[in-house]
Amino acid sequence: MSERKLTTRAEDFSEWYNQVVVRAELADYAPVRGCMIVRPYGWALWENITAALDQRFKATGHVNAAFPLLIPRSFIEKEKSHVAGFSPELAVVTHGGGEELEEPLVIRPTSETIIGHSYAKWIQSYRDLPLLINQWNSVVRWELRTRLFLRTLEFFWQEGHTAHATADEAEAETRQMVDVYSDFAVHEAAIPVIPGRKSEAEKFAGAEITYSLEAMMGDGKALQFCTSHNLGQNFAKAFEIRYLDKNGVLQHCWTTSWGLSTRVVGALIMVHGDDQGLIFPPRLAPYQIVIVPIFKTDDEKITVFETARRLQRELTDAGLRVKMDEREGMSPGFKFNDWEMRGVPLRLELGPKDVAKGSAVLARRDRPGKEGKVFLPQPGMAAAVAGLLEDIQKALHRRALEFRRARTVEPADYGEFKKAVEVGFAFCWWCGGSDCEEKIKEETKATMRCIPLDQSLGANPTGSGGSGECVYCRQPAKEKAIFARAY
């Protein structure tokens, strides 16, 4: 129920986020600190996300499998940088069946090691390559500071793991998944993203190169949308993932991994939401349209519901996700506010006068008040609703892109840089030095989010081959990077 007003985003963005997640019944806090319970409304959203991604993965030749939750501790320790990167976050099982285990087991923080062990058994020849496997699961990382969807001890995600015969094939796979994720972000989530390369300090533990998609949230902060890692031969050498090439020579494989988690739900909330609550892009919304029957007498109720159910069938038959609000003891106004808070893209209001006129009132969630009201005849309603939903989908992406552009600055010096990261992104020359990166983080709390693959993002395009001076040390720089405070 949404009886109380939400805290506004301007008052306290963090509190607004926490309130809307709980009150819209997306998730709840679990008895174990830092864990979450994903409620049915939130899980329906996640199912739509997984369906859209799974379709894309399979279209690019990937298949799904399932690997164990428990991993021998010795597996994690085989790749030195991997164990160093994950050791502080590991949950370790030391006892089972009432007895101490001979070897402790790690609850998977990610599955490169257990999958590497399996790939070493399965791959013998170049004919076995490429091996393209994805799995949908949950992982555990012992986070100290948690927030529903954004950072929890256990979270749901997909993790793709592939093995290839050459370095070029592995890099092509890594970049292909960046494109797949970008397509999903723009066309399904309506979130504009910046694909780019992570710095040495920010890349995945054990990777040669990490790519990410960075998105701007409604408070100007960045959120890492997903990652794609070129692991080189690091894990292949650690786990002896080898194949006989066409000349009969034994070679180590080149591997990749890539993933997107329930963190993307947090992105949807913070990119599109407003002071009334959630606004879901139609292609991912659990319900695309809610029908709210309006009546006063029993006779009016019978008449209105008859028409409402007919419209519900027509919309459902057209492939739309429809919810009929049949709750009793609640005013239409309460229901309107409740569904607005829950982010349903369209609301169909139907009263006795609408039934008599053969029409209905539709309210767009992305346009509050009278501006968002549309009056439509009942005949042809399904086609009209589908058109409105497509328009809302595009409008949400357009609005988010305009917001990001308005808050992205190309600073001329470090003074302008510090002002830029207080409200949004700084897109600036960076020398690539870890010292500059660390000092910027210490002084401004801004991190290097990525080096955009498209260096012509700003108002002054540089294209490839440009150069400038590092925003911090003023030494020569060949690439521009995105710096921002982040979740």
Domains in the chain, CATH or no CATH each: 13-272 (3.30.930.10), 289-403 (3.40.50.800), 408-484 (3.30.110.30)
Q: What is the pLDDT of residue 1?
A: 44
Tokens (6 digits) for 257:
């991994």
In degrees, rounded to 5, the angle at the alpha carbon of residue 280 between the alpha carbons of residues 330 and 61 is 135
Structure tokens at 387: 């058109």
Helix or strand or coil: residue 5? Answer: coil
- The token duo for 4 is 């109380």
Q: Could you report the per-residue pLDDT of 135-158, keeping only the tens digit for each? A: 999 999 998 889 999 999 999 999
pLDDT value at position 471?
Answer: 97
What DSSP assignment string belongs to 20-69? HHHHTTSEEE-SSTT-EEEPHHHHHHHHHHHHHHHHHHHHTT-EE----S
Contacts of 128 (CB under 8 A, 6+ apart): 122, 243
Of 126, 205, 194, 78, the residue nearest 483 (C-alpha): 194
Measured in degrees and rounded to the nearest 5, phi and psi for residue 70 equal -100, 135
C-alpha 145/C-alpha 332 separation (Å) is 40
| Per-residue CA distances from 93 to 69, 70, 99, 106, 115 (Å) | 11, 8, 11, 6, 20
Query: Residue 463: its pLDDT value, please?
Result: 46
| Token pair of 435 as six digits | 């010292």
Q: What angle do CA 396, 400, 404 make, to 5 degrees?
A: 170
b/e string for 27-56 if b means 16 or more Cβ within 10 A?
Answer: bebeeeebebebeebbbbbbebbbebbeeb
Q: How far is CA 364 from the centre of its chain?
A: 24
Q: What integer pLDDT is reported at residue 459 of this predicted model?
A: 54
- Residue 192 CA: distances (Å) to CA of 204, 269, 393, 397, 424: 23, 14, 12, 7, 14
Residue pair 133/162 in contact by the 8 Å Cβ criterion: yes
pLDDT of the residue at 82 = 64
**What token pair was written down for 71?**
């991993």
CA distance 136 to 320: 26
Per-residue DSSP letter, 6 = P
Pairwise CA distance, residues 83 & 206, whole Å: 9
Q: Residue 121 burial by CB count (10 A; 0-12/13-18/19+): exposed, middle or buried?
A: exposed
How far is 30 from 26, CA to CA, in rounded Å?
13
Q: What is the DSSP-derived secondary structure letter of residue 266?
A: H
Amino acid at 286: P
Q: Residue 429: helix, strand or coil by DSSP? A: strand
pLDDT of residue 46: 98
Model pLDDT for residues 72-129, shown as the tens digit of each residue: 999 988 876 766 767 788 999 999 999 999 999 999 999 999 999 999 999 999 999 9
- By C-alpha distance, which of 373, 387, 380 is closest to 358? 380
CA–CA distance, 211 with 481 (Å, rounded to integer)? 13
Q: Going from the first residue of the chain to its last (487 residues), give the mean pLDDT of each consecutive group of 10, the final group possibly shorter.
A: 80 98 98 96 98 98 98 87 75 96 96 95 98 98 92 97 98 98 98 98 93 98 98 95 97 98 98 98 98 96 97 98 96 97 98 97 96 96 98 98 98 97 98 97 98 82 69 97 97
Q: What is the DSSP string of 353-378?
A: HHHHHTEEEEEETTS-GGGGEEEEES
At 466 the pLDDT is 77
What pLDDT score was predicted for residue 467? 87
Q: Are strands 91-96 and 99-107 parallel, antiparallel or unpaired?
A: antiparallel
pLDDT at 134: 98
How big, in percent rounded to 5, are the helix, strand and coil portions of the chain? 40, 30, 35
The residues, ordered by sequence, that sit 6+ positions from 51 with a Cβ below 8 Å of its Cβ are: none
Positive or negative, the Cα torsion across 311, 314, 318, 324? positive
The whole-angstrom separation of Cα 225 and Cα 159 is 14
The pLDDT assigned to 79 comes to 73
